[in-house]
Chain A
Amino acid sequence: MKRAFGLAAVAALATSAALAETVAPTNVALVDGVIKTSLTGQPGDAGVGRKVFANRKQGNCLACHTNSDLSEEIFHGEVGPPMDGVADRWSEGELRAIVTNSKQVFEDTIMPAFYIESGYERPLEKFAGKSILSAQQVEDVVAYLMTLKEE
């Protein structure tokens, strides 16, 4: 009895330790269009995510998506669907999967995969072997997207 309890406690500890560690791009568990848990084990910061969304050198999501919440930005692209109410349409796990690797959710999409570090050809040297966003930035963007509700 005592011993079994001890094992369970160890297992629980191990899980939380794993969660607190950042998942490398190659170890991301994207299953059926969903990534269940945070890539960093930490919750994202929606305020930071809003900035990453607009920043041309980071997410630059505005290049392709309109978003009423960012009306202070003049230029909104329209290559993809508007972001208004996106959290009503997708769950957090689905949004995490879309931002991490859109290609596994939308076939042949123009949308870049933001958290992969290989699988693309001829990158400029300074970007080679890197992901566009860090794991924490993905989480921040996901937290921000979760605030975009209309209902």
Chain B
Amino acid sequence: MNLKLWITVAASCLSTAALAQDSNKLVIEGEALVTETAAPAHMENVDTIYSGWRFRSSETQALETDDFDNPGFVFLDQGVDLFEKVDGSEGKACASCHEDIEDFAGLRTQLPRVQDGKLASMEDLVNECRTERMGAKPWKWSGGQMTAMTGLIGLQSRGMPVNVEIDGEAAPFWEKGKELYYTRVGQLDMACSNCHENNFGVMIRADHLSQGQINGFPTYRLKNAKLNSIHARFKGCMKNIRAEPFKEGGDEFKALELYLASRGQGLSVETPSVRN
């Protein structure tokens, strides 16, 4: 029997289960965010895209609407301290050169982007400044200092629409990411698309499947009580299907990051989002 049909059948039978995305509106500190919009033209199998926020329970949703309640902000405060802290052989802090953190407004919406022929994620930009301009050691890709900083920088774009470049120089990276998205891996032999494209809105045991959007990263997860990088999330999903994850910060995950960002074109940046 056809899968879509079964989903409809299941949807009509199980009235108690959470189904599809809800119709709640996300307003953070008085500002309305876009959690639903028409899918970009390149997405052939999906009409409307939704933020992962729309698939979470009302309790989890509420945590993101108020910056005092949002546990991610504890880590962003650490980011503020790090931004001002002198580190490395040059005796500089980020703030020595970047006067105002707000100057990073808009940056999150455009990443990852091609730079000198390579795809660069926000983590690359931060570490480039640390190693090339500060004479400091690079931060671990998904470590606490890095996610505090990418969270703080991402926050400056909160409410702005995701808008990554996918043509021109970016095209080959985007194609590679798309291929990875649709490739089955692991002992369970599944692709990202099996869960996040064909079955979003459906319960998979205790989890309500979303579209796997990355507009809210780094994300505070109730599960591990910290900020989680995009690549750490990819890694987790791959391990769940018993697949050997690609390397955090490696070419594969960066390509996948670009492709996923492009599947969220037009959604508001939600950094730091709250998920379970």
Contact = CB atoms under 8 A, between A and B. Distances in A.
Given A112-B188, A112-B190, A121 B204 contact: no
Nearest to A117: B187
Interface stretch (B10-18, B91-99, B160-168, B262-270): B10-18
Interface in B193-218: 194-195, 198-199, 202-206
A78 B186 contact: no
Interface stretch (A12-20, A27-35, A79-87, A141-149): A79-87
A5 interface: no
B239 interface: yes
Contacts of A60: 205
A123 B242 contact: yes
Interface in A89-119: 103, 109-110, 112-113, 119
A123 B243 contact: yes
A124 B239 contact: yes
B132 interface: no
B14 A79 contact: no
Interface residues of A, number: 31
A113 B205 contact: no
A23 interface: no
A110 B243 contact: no
A76 B205 contact: yes
Contact of A120 (B6, B189, B205, B206): B189
A78 B19 CA distance: 10
B195 A110 contact: yes
Given A112-B188, A122-B185, A124-B187, A78 B244 contact: no
Interface in B156-182: none
A81 B9 contact: yes
A151 interface: no
A40 B239 CA distance: 30
Given A120-B185, A124-B243, A110 B198 contact: yes
Interface string A48-91: 00000000100010111010000000111111111000000000
A145 to B, nearest CB: 16
Contacts of B7: 78-79
B183 A121 contact: yes
Interface in B5-36: 6-7, 9-11, 13-14, 17
B242 A127 contact: yes
B243 A75 contact: no
A79 B199 contact: yes
Nearest to A123: B187
B41 interface: no
Nearest to B1: A81
A113 B242 CA distance: 13
A81 B6 contact: yes
Given A78-B14, A81-B9, A130-B187, A122 B243 contact: yes
A64 B3 CA distance: 12
Contact of A80 (B6, B186, B206): B6
B184 interface: yes
Given A81-B1, A112-B188, A132-B188, A124 B242 contact: yes
Contacts of B183: 121
Contact of A77 (B188, B205, B244): B205
Given A82-B10, A112-B189, A121-B183, A64 B1 contact: no
A56 B244 CA distance: 19
Closest 4 CB pairs of A and B: A75-B206, A63-B205, A127-B187, A78-B10
11 contacts: A63-B205, A64-B205, A66-B10, A75-B203, A76-B203, A76-B205, A78-B203, A110-B3, A124-B239, A127-B186, A132-B188
Interface of A: 56, 60, 62-64, 66, 74-82, 103, 109-110, 112-113, 119-125, 127-128, 130, 132
Interface of B: 1, 3, 6-7, 9-11, 13-14, 17, 183-190, 194-195, 198-199, 202-206, 239, 242-244
